[in-house]
Structures are given as C-alpha cells and as structure tokens.
Amino acid sequence: MIEVSVVTPAFNAAAFLPATIDSVLAQTFPHWEMIVVDDCSTDGTRAVVEGYASRDARVQLVMQPNNGGPARARQAALERASGRYIAFLDSDDRWLPSKLERQLAFMARPEVAFSFTAFRRVSADGERVGRLIEAPARLTYGELLGNTAIATSTAIVDRTRTGPFSMTVTYYDDFALWLEITRRGFPAYGLNEDLMRYRVVDGSVSRNKGRSARMVWRTYRDVERLGIGTSSWAFMRYALNAVRKYRAF
C-alpha cells in the first residue's frame, strides 16, 4: 500500500536526477511512490525517469504538455498522488536513507500534520558538504512569515489531517503552501535531524538573492494580502534569518 507520494518537478534535470531518484530507492521505508513531472525538458530528463520506471513501478513519469514552472508541475503530481503523506523532493536534492522512516515516526505524534527536518547544503559536484542547518521545534503562521527554516525537500504534509491543498502559481509556491497550511491552524514541526542534502546549483531560483527577496515581498503582499506594516515587519525578520542561515556554507 502506498503511504507516501513523493512530488518531484523536473526541468532539464538529467545531470542530478539519478542521484535524487537513487536516494528515494534507498529509503528504509518502502511504501512510497515517486511522481516525477517533466516540465518540457530539452535534455535527457525523460529518458532518465523512464529508465528508472522500467525497473521499479513505484517511480512514475508525468509529462507536462507545456512548460509551466514548478508550481504547475507540483500540482500535476498532486493530482495523481495516492498517498496519505505528500513529501516534496526537488530534482537536484537527495534524501538520506532513513529520511522517510524517521520523519513518519515523528509524524505519528497526534499534533504533527506538517513537518520538516534539518539538512546540509552540498556543492553542485557533491564534494563539499556544508554545516548543519537546524530545524526549529515549531513554527506557527506568524513565525513562518519571517523565517527561512523550511527547505522544500525536507517537507512532508499529512493531507488526511490538513485536508486537500493545491499549489499557488507564484514564484515561491512552496513558501505560499507552507503559509496556507499553517494559516489553517497546522503548525510546522521541525525534526532536528540531518536527513537531506540540498544541492547548491548556479542559476537556481534560490541563488538569486535579490530576486528572491523581491518575491518574498510579493508573497506577503499579493498572496497573503498583508498590509505594508505587517509585510515590513515580516520581511525584516525573514532577511535577518536568511543572513544567519547563509552566513557560512
């Protein structure tokens, strides 16, 4: 029985995707499906996923008809997901083998419908491993507005508790989703264990800090509909936490 649906959007991800899929295949918890959505890649992404899918039926390929970006790709995966738990994993990141097992055990606590974990950054070639980015114990909606703690590839949502959800088509669709879930009254609980490797790739969304800052502001104003005062307060906290997070590799 499938308990976890792993959502992976992929665009021109052939270089790193094998390590990502291998990290899911290596999980000590076996009851998962991995839905990789190819967002009209022009490299060998499709062939990579087809190769894995031919060997393990738990790996599934979804082809997007048009390039629509990560939010639409994640939404396409959500619409096909059969698991109680939705786990997010980007196409250039990877999990440590006990990630699902440890995090699902953590989520057996009745209050935990949404969780995330600690992680480390790695260089694009995988040779350099950074310091531990710790997970705070708990984040409410108000706390999350000013925090950068939740890395997408660490997040799991129990949708039998939160109810159904969908992705908002915006630059930071993941952040918008975390805010929606916590706004519903489901805090994000942090499992402070090192269970994910976040690959630092030049040209990725998160590498452009100036644009990232502008899009966080737009999330406050356009998605959350916050006033100038609340947005400014949240943005100052967000920026301070970002500086702390990225002060060293």
Q: What is the pLDDT of residues 37-96, one digit of tens each?
A: 999 999 999 999 999 999 999 999 999 999 999 999 999 999 999 999 999 999 999 999
Instruction: List the domains of the chain with CATH numbers.
Output: 4-203 (3.90.550.10)
The residue ranges of the chain whose pLDDT is under 70 are 203-208
Q: Find where tokens 């114990």 sit.
A: 137
The answer to whether 221 and 231 have CB atoms below 8 angstroms apart is yes
Q: 10 Å Cβ neighbour count for 101?
A: 14
Question: Which neighbouring-strand residues pair with 141?
Answer: none
Cα 76–chain centre separation: 15
d(CA 45, CA 42): 8
Query: What is the predicted pLDDT for the residue at 207?
Result: 54
Cα–Cα distance, 229 to 211 (Å, whole number) = 21
Strands 59-63 and 32-38: parallel
CA neighbor of 184 nearest in space, from 217, 149, 159, 156: 159
Q: What pLDDT was estimated at residue 237?
A: 86
What per-residue confidence (pLDDT) applies to 247? Answer: 78
> Which helix H or strand E contains 34, and what residues bound it?
strand 32-38
Q: Which structure tokens are listed for 54?
A: 């031919």
Q: How far apart are CA 5 and CA 94, in angstroms?
A: 15
CA distance 157 to 107: 9
Q: How far is CA 72 from the centre of its chain?
A: 14
Predicted pLDDT of residue 93: 98
Exposure of 91 by Cβ count < 10 A (0-12 exposed, 13-18 middle, 19+ buried)?
buried
> DSSP letter at 108?
T
Q: What is the pTM of this model?
A: 0.94
Question: Given CA atoms 82, 87, 90, 91 in this order, what sign does their dihedral have?
Answer: negative
Amino acid in the structure at residue 213: A
